A and B are shown apart, each in its own frame.
Chain A
Amino acid sequence: MRGIFTLVTDVTDRKKVEDSLRRSEERLRLVTDSVPAFISYLDSEQRFQFVNRHYEKTFGRKQEEFIGRHVREILGDDRYPIYKPHLEKVLAGNHVNFETRITLKGQEEEMRSLNVEYSPDFSESGEVIGCFVLRTDITARYQAESKIRQREELLRATLESTLGGILVVDSNGKLTHSNTRFAEMWSFPEAILSAGDFEVLVEFAASQLVDPEAFVLRINQLYDTTDVRSDTLRLKDGRVFERRSCPLIRDGIVDGRVWNFYYITEQVRLEEQARRHHDELAHVSRIGTMGEMATSIAHELNQPLAAVANFAFVIENELSNHSGTEKNAEFVASLARKVKTQVIRAGDIVRRMREFLRNVESHKVSSDINEVVSLVEPEARQRRVSVQLKLDNDIPKCRLDNIRIQQVVVNLIRNAFDAMSENDVNNRNVIVATTHNDDRFVEVSVQDRGHGIQFADIDSIFNTFFTTKQTEMGMCLAISRSFIEEHGGVQWVDPDVRDGALFKFQLPVEPEGNDFNR
């Protein structure tokens, strides 16, 4: 474009020293005509004094027809007002540059975008005596820019529509994109975002984290790599984000990183709840056996106590009957050592018992038995049992210690599975069903396809020491019964089922209007 100005300057010279340049006019015209731009000169009255050949095509007039005509006459009354203020400005001595669009009347109407430059022409005395006009077709550039703008808008819309908070940083550590959600998640002040300094952003975000060091360390580790990573961020306010990061690669070179942040607070909360639930279930399993443990611990404790009493008795006899001999002293000492060993052993037993003595209080809340039953599925899955749930969707609520009732169901499922261990793999499923026959009780049944229960055993099956298994003491059913009875319910085995076993228990329905502490 600079070359054109040079040409235009030559035109100025021509105006100043007309005679000497008349000969080069032909040559000049050739040059200006070959330039892919509209070049013209207007005098101070806005009349054309020079136009190049491109004007011919656009306005449908011959070059010489322009000379001496007013701009308004050439452009028409409708378009002249667009140019008028610019022309007045340039003729007041200012450089003017503006863009406009025109419709070319060719075979098809075509919108073209133009960049128009007006440069004032000053006389030696400083008066404006005319202006140089340079109009360049910027349609291609305009279209390209418009395409980029569209892409930019699409990108922005995409960024805004995602659920995560997004931050894009270039390789110089400058923020290039971020979405509204990102700003919201971290409560970024507008000033920090618009400054776009990544380090300031990181510092601001880190200050909100439980473990800021790990956060910063990960960023530094990743910055120049092409790794795609994700990690979990815990905020001081209890929220949890998942952070994913992937590199921005341009022409095979890492040119920044994209950071995504997702809210996973709820997900993490649910996972933790499930885990806590599972832990509590395991705890209840320990506690549930506590009654039985107490019995067996008492038995165990009696062993060292009996031994100690015996040793003490012998020591007493030795001391009163054979005291004073060297052999006697040695024997008594050995008995004393034996007493010590047994006392230490008794202490170990007591210590072990303490580990079982934890919170055993029952905690009943208004519950949906279906939910309580459904929650045993993970436990069942862990034990590779296929559990089929047949739930009564209309079931009334009960007041339950959910963990204990789950323990009952888990125990029954576990028993069912053990009873089916010799079955074909495809024939190992357990059906857990809920139902209610009236408004007083809900009923839960657990059915297996195992070896079943001998009729003679049915009465003793809930006794503590009954078991059809070798490995366990069969206490599960006894614990189940005590839990069910504690809820005011009953548990039994259906004696008419021949193919496998059908265990059932009933729990009382919660009285109406008793949901104040739900």
Chain B
Amino acid sequence: MISIDKTPIIFVVDDDEGVRDSLAIIGESSGYSTRVFASALELLDAVDARHVGCVITDLRMPGMSGSRLQEALIQRDILLPVIIITGHGDETVSANAIKAGAVAFLEKPFSPEKLVDNIRRAIDLNLVQHKGES
């Protein structure tokens, strides 16, 4: 049995520095260790299937979008739950993201409490997933 001795990590992906910074501070003040990335590709270079935690990603970003990142993670068998945040209320994209397994789809500006709730839910879910695997 592989013990889940790893500390959960919040992976933040946003091309906007201010938002990225604030997400990291929220994550840390909620008691999680947090890593920030300015693009989806940077994150994909840094994560693998053994990581525990969750991903918070912006939807619209130069290069790879948040929903494409979600697909890429699934392809790589990375089970990190994804929370998507966006500046546009785009219902189609939102529905598709949820269908593809996103934990939450939050529209900016969102309530920080709601984000924290979703973070906890996502991490708990991920911990359960890992436990199930082991």
| Chain A residues near B (Cβ < 8 Å) | 295, 298-300, 302-314, 317-318, 335, 338, 341-342, 345
Cβ distance A411 to chain B, nearest Cβ, rounded Å: 24
Residues facing A in B90-129 (CB within 8 A) are 108-113, 115-116
* Interface residues as binary, B45-60 with A (CB distance below 8 Å gives 1, 0 otherwise): 0000000000000001
Assuming the A-B contacts A299-B88, A309-B112, A310-B112, are A304 and B18 also in contact, with contact meaning beta carbons closer than 8 angstroms in the complex? yes
**What are 5 A-B interface contacts by the 8 Å CB criterion?**
A298-B87, A299-B87, A303-B18, A310-B19, A313-B116
A51 to B21, CA, bound (A): 128
Q: Determine whether the beta carbon of B87 is less than 8 Å from that of A313.
A: no
Q: Determine whether the beta carbon of A313 is less than 8 Å from that of B112.
A: yes
Q: Determine whether the beta carbon of A306 is less than 8 Å from that of B108.
A: yes
Cβ distance A314 to chain B, nearest Cβ, rounded Å: 5
Q: For residue B87, which residues in chain A have a CB less than 8 angstroms away from its CB?
A: 298-300, 302-303
A104 to B21, CA, bound (A): 118
A338 to B19, CA, bound (A): 11
Minimum CB distance partner of B60 in chain A? A299
Residue of B18, B60, B115 near A307 (CB, 8 A) is B18
Q: For residue A342, which residues in chain B have a CB less than 8 angstroms away from its CB?
A: 18, 22
Q: Does B72 lie at the interface of the complex (its beta carbon under 8 Å from any beta carbon of A)? A: no
Q: For residue B21, which residues in chain A have a CB less than 8 angstroms away from its CB?
A: 307, 338
Assuming the A-B contacts A306-B85, A309-B112, are A341 and B26 also in contact, with contact meaning beta carbons closer than 8 angstroms in the complex? no
| Chain B residues near A (Cβ < 8 Å) | 16, 18-19, 21-23, 25-26, 29, 60, 85, 87-88, 108-113, 115-116
Q: Which of A302, A335, A338, A341 has the most C-beta atoms of chain B within 10 angstroms of its own C-beta?
A: A302
Residue of A300, A302, A304, A310 near B26 (CB, 8 A) is A310
Assuming the A-B contacts A298-B87, A299-B87, A311-B22, are A306 and B29 also in contact, with contact meaning beta carbons closer than 8 angstroms in the complex? no
Q: For residue A303, which residues in chain B have a CB less than 8 angstroms away from its CB?
A: 16, 18-19, 87, 108
A308 to B26, CA, bound (A): 11
A298 to B22, CA, bound (A): 19
Minimum CB distance partner of B111 in chain A? A309
Assuming the A-B contacts A313-B26, A314-B26, are A302 and B108 also in contact, with contact meaning beta carbons closer than 8 angstroms in the complex? yes
A53 to B93, CA, bound (A): 127
Residue of A309, A335, A341 near B110 (CB, 8 A) is A309
Cβ distance A475 to chain B, nearest Cβ, rounded Å: 15
Q: For residue B19, which residues in chain A have a CB less than 8 angstroms away from its CB?
A: 303, 306-307, 310
A318 to B29, CA, bound (A): 8
By DSSP majority rule, is chain B's interface helix, strand, loop, or mixed? helix
A335 to B25, CA, bound (A): 9
Cβ distance B38 to chain A, nearest Cβ, rounded Å: 14
Minimum CB distance partner of A341 in chain B? B18
Cβ distance B68 to chain A, nearest Cβ, rounded Å: 16
Additional 19 contacts, C-beta under 8 A, given A305-B109, A307-B22, A309-B22: A298-B87, A299-B60, A299-B88, A300-B87, A302-B109, A303-B18, A303-B87, A306-B19, A307-B19, A307-B21, A309-B111, A310-B22, A310-B112, A312-B112, A313-B26, A313-B112, A313-B113, A338-B22, A341-B18
Residue of B25, B60, B110, B113 near A311 (CB, 8 A) is B25
What's the A-B contact tally at a CB cutoff of 8 Å? 65
Q: For residue B116, which residues in chain A have a CB less than 8 angstroms away from its CB?
A: 313
In the A-B complex, list the 9 residue pairs whose CB atoms are closest, starting with the nearest: A313-B112, A310-B22, A299-B87, A302-B108, A305-B109, A307-B22, A306-B108, A307-B18, A302-B87
A299 to B112, CA, bound (A): 18
Cβ distance B64 to chain A, nearest Cβ, rounded Å: 16
Cβ distance B13 to chain A, nearest Cβ, rounded Å: 14
Q: For residue B85, which residues in chain A have a CB less than 8 angstroms away from its CB?
A: 306
Q: Determine whether the beta carbon of B109 is less than 8 Å from that of A309.
A: yes
Minimum CB distance partner of A321 in chain B? B29
A303 to B115, CA, bound (A): 15
A308 to B16, CA, bound (A): 13
Q: Determine whether the beta carbon of A305 is less than 8 Å from that of B29.
A: no
Cβ distance A348 to chain B, nearest Cβ, rounded Å: 12
Q: For residue A299, which residues in chain B have a CB less than 8 angstroms away from its CB?
A: 60, 87-88
Minimum CB distance partner of B106 in chain A? A306
Q: For residue B88, which residues in chain A have a CB less than 8 angstroms away from its CB?
A: 295, 299
Cβ distance A305 to chain B, nearest Cβ, rounded Å: 4
Q: Determine whether the beta carbon of A310 is less than 8 Å from that of B25.
A: yes
Minimum CB distance partner of A342 in chain B? B18
A306 to B26, CA, bound (A): 12
Cβ distance B63 to chain A, nearest Cβ, rounded Å: 13
Cβ distance A95 to chain B, nearest Cβ, rounded Å: 109
A342 to B25, CA, bound (A): 15
Q: Determine whether the beta carbon of B18 is less than 8 Å from that of A314.
A: no
A312 to B19, CA, bound (A): 13
Cβ distance B30 to chain A, nearest Cβ, rounded Å: 8
Cβ distance B85 to chain A, nearest Cβ, rounded Å: 7
A338 to B29, CA, bound (A): 15
Q: For residue B26, which residues in chain A have a CB less than 8 angstroms away from its CB?
A: 310, 313-314
Cβ distance B62 to chain A, nearest Cβ, rounded Å: 11
Cβ distance A434 to chain B, nearest Cβ, rounded Å: 39
Cβ distance A471 to chain B, nearest Cβ, rounded Å: 13
Minimum CB distance partner of B14 in chain A? A303
Assuming the A-B contacts A302-B87, A306-B108, A306-B109, are A317 and B29 also in contact, with contact meaning beta carbons closer than 8 angstroms in the complex? yes
Q: Determine whether the beta carbon of B23 is less than 8 Å from that of A310.
A: yes
Cβ distance A474 to chain B, nearest Cβ, rounded Å: 16
Assuming the A-B contacts A311-B22, A317-B29, are A305 and B108 also in contact, with contact meaning beta carbons closer than 8 angstroms in the complex? yes
Q: Determine whether the beta carbon of A314 is less than 8 Å from that of B29.
A: yes
A110 to B18, CA, bound (A): 109
Minimum CB distance partner of B25 in chain A? A314
A345 to B21, CA, bound (A): 15
Cβ distance B113 to chain A, nearest Cβ, rounded Å: 7
Q: For residue B112, which residues in chain A have a CB less than 8 angstroms away from its CB?
A: 309-310, 312-314
Q: Determine whether the beta carbon of A345 is less than 8 Å from that of B108.
A: no
Q: For residue B113, which residues in chain A have a CB less than 8 angstroms away from its CB?
A: 313
Cβ distance B50 to chain A, nearest Cβ, rounded Å: 29
